């Protein structure tokens, strides 16, 4: 199900299913983002955990973080924005009522990194389209550019997106309101690519998806069988090193996650350029994925080295690669 696209009067509900924004620069950015979103005409509801750090490595207890999300989903808001990423969002899944969500009017959930625990499961368990894109705190910029602009445009129904010329190799977190420093030219590595390919997009953060694999929240094989048009699987890695990436992909492969696959989109990992005993982030992927004989685009604008393209989970799209760039067209 695709939720309705946002208008200037749409209501946005902010939640903190992982970290809350209690330290610099995240607290300052979220406060400014709320002002910015209101200035665009949106009513903004701030959930009780957004500026909280009452939990262990989290905004609150798993139960209360899940309660906040469920209250947001039951509300009359048009979209739910996660305020940020974190480490232990995985804990809340036991307290999310996915069966109730299926019966409620669909609304957008937008988040990045640890928010894969919901952007991915809402799509595979509830057939809801979600957006793996900029968290609420990123909306602090006076003028929206790159991934923030594209996430906002996607929420309003934009269909065509393309990658960015450079990326930020080292982030500056000393200035809460600093813009991106795009200091490194990207180089996309195509493999088995000959022409544009299409399918339903599905993916997120590889660290999180590996943890979902084999649990009660893993219905990926059923999802891929149901979507006969085929799947384009996208992923990016954060904490995983090069060997960890290879192990994670092997686990997903053995669990039949790549049934009916049409192509792979691989983001820039934080360990880009690293090597261990002959394994690097490129061959870690190729060694596992090449047997599917489908297009693979590596080091696209996706991941924790900003800016990162938003992806509409559950939406049908066509991917084209040309002139060292990626172009995404949604149907």
pLDDT in tens, 248-261: 999 999 999 999 99
Evaluate if residue 171 carries a pLDDT over 80: no
Evaluate if residue 175 carries a pLDDT over 90: no
pLDDT of residue 170: 79
Q: 221: pLDDT confidence band, cut at 50, 70 and 90?
A: very high
Q: What's the CA gap between 58 and 244, in Å, rounded?
A: 24
Q: What's the CA gap between 299 and 301, in Å, rounded?
A: 7
Domain limit, last residue, from 106, 138, 158: 158
Q: Would residue 188 count as lying in a domain?
A: yes
Helical residues (DSSP H) of 49-115, grouped into ranges = 62-74, 98-103
Give Cα 295 distance to the centre of its chain: 21
Domain limit, last residue, from 113, 132, 158: 158
Residue 142 and residue 191 in one domain = no
Residue 244 and residue 204 in one domain = yes
Residue 238 and residue 101 in one domain = no
151 closest CA partner among 323, 316, 5, 318 = 5
Residue 61 and residue 188 in one domain = no
Average pLDDT over the chain reads 96
**Residue 97 is part of a domain; what is its CATH number?**
3.40.50.10740
Cβ atoms within 10 Å, residue 265: 26
Q: Per-residue pLDDT tens for 69-116?
A: 999 999 999 999 999 999 999 999 999 999 999 999 999 999 999 999
Q: 173: pLDDT confidence band, cut at 50, 70 and 90?
A: low
Q: 27: pLDDT confidence band, cut at 50, 70 and 90?
A: very high
Evaluate if residue 242 carries a pLDDT over 70: yes
pLDDT of residue 176: 77
**Residue 253 is part of a domain; what is its CATH number?**
3.50.30.60
Residue 202 and residue 307 in one domain = yes
Residue 178 and residue 285 in one domain = yes
Residue 58 and residue 141 in one domain = yes
Evaluate if residue 202 carries a pLDDT over 70: yes
14 closest CA partner among 30, 3, 36 = 30
pLDDT of residue 49: 98
Averaged pLDDT, 17-46: 97
pLDDT of residue 174: 67
pLDDT of residue 110: 98
Q: 177: pLDDT confidence band, cut at 50, 70 and 90?
A: confident
Assigned token pair, 178: 């600093």
Evaluate if residue 172 carries a pLDDT over 70: no
Percent of the chain with pLDDT over 90: 95
Residue 270 and residue 231 in one domain = yes
Q: What's the CA gap between 11 and 205, in Å, rounded?
A: 27
Averaged pLDDT, 137-148: 94
Residue given tokens 């988040």 in the structure block: 111
Averaged pLDDT, 176-191: 90
Residue 140 and residue 224 in one domain = no
Q: Would residue 5 count as lying in a domain?
A: no
Residue 302 and residue 190 in one domain = yes
For 105, the domain range is 11-158
Q: What's the CA gap between 298 and 280, in Å, rounded?
A: 12
Q: Per-residue pLDDT tens for 288-312?
A: 999 999 999 999 999 999 999 999 9
Q: What's the CA gap between 259 and 225, in Å, rounded?
A: 7
Q: Would residue 2 count as lying in a domain?
A: no
Q: Would residue 1 count as lying in a domain?
A: no
Counting the structural domains of the chain, the total is: 2
Q: Would residue 29 count as lying in a domain?
A: yes
Residue 138 and residue 266 in one domain = no
């Amino acid at each position: 199900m695709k939720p309705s696209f946002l208008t200037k009067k749409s209501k946005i509900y902010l939640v903190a299913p992982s970290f809350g924004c209690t330290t610099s620069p995240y607290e300052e950015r979220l406060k400014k983002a709320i002002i910015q979103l209101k200035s665009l005409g949106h009513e903004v509801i701030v959930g009780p955990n957004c500026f909280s750090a009452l939990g262990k490595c989290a905004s609150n207890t798993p139960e209360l973080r899940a309660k906040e999300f469920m209250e947001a989903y039951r509300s009359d808001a048009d979209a739910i924005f996660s305020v940020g990423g974190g480490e232990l969002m995985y804990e809340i899944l036991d307290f999310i009522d996915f069966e109730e969500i299926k019966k409620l009017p669909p609304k957008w959930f937008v988040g990045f990194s640890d928010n894969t625990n919901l952007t991915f499961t809402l799509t595979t368990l509830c057939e809801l389209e979600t957006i793996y894109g900029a968290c609420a705190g990123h909306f602090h910029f006076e003028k929206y550019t790159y991934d923030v602009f594209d996430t906002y445009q996607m929420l309003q129904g934009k269909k065509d997106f393309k990658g960015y010329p450079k990326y930020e190799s080292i982030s500056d977190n000393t200035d809460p309101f600093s813009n991106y420093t795009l200091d490194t030219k990207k180089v996309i590595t195509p493999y088995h690519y000959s022409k544009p390919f299409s399918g339903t997009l599905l993916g997120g953060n590889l660290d999180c998806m590996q943890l979902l694999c084999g649990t009660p929240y893993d219905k990926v094989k059923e999802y891929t069988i149901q979507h006969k048009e085929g799947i384009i699987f996208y992923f990016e890695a954060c904490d995983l090193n090069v060997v960890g990436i290879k192990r994670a992909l092997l686990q997903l492969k053995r669990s039949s996650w790549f049934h009916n696959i049409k192509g792979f989109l691989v983001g820039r990992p934080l360990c880009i350029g690293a090597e261990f005993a002959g394994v690097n982030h490129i061959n870690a992927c190729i060694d596992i994925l090449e047997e599917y004989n489908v297009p693979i685009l590596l080091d696209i604008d996706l991941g924790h080295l900003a800016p990162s393209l938003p992806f509409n989970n559950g939406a049908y799209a066509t991917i084209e690669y040309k002139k060292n760039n990626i172009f995404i067209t949604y149907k």
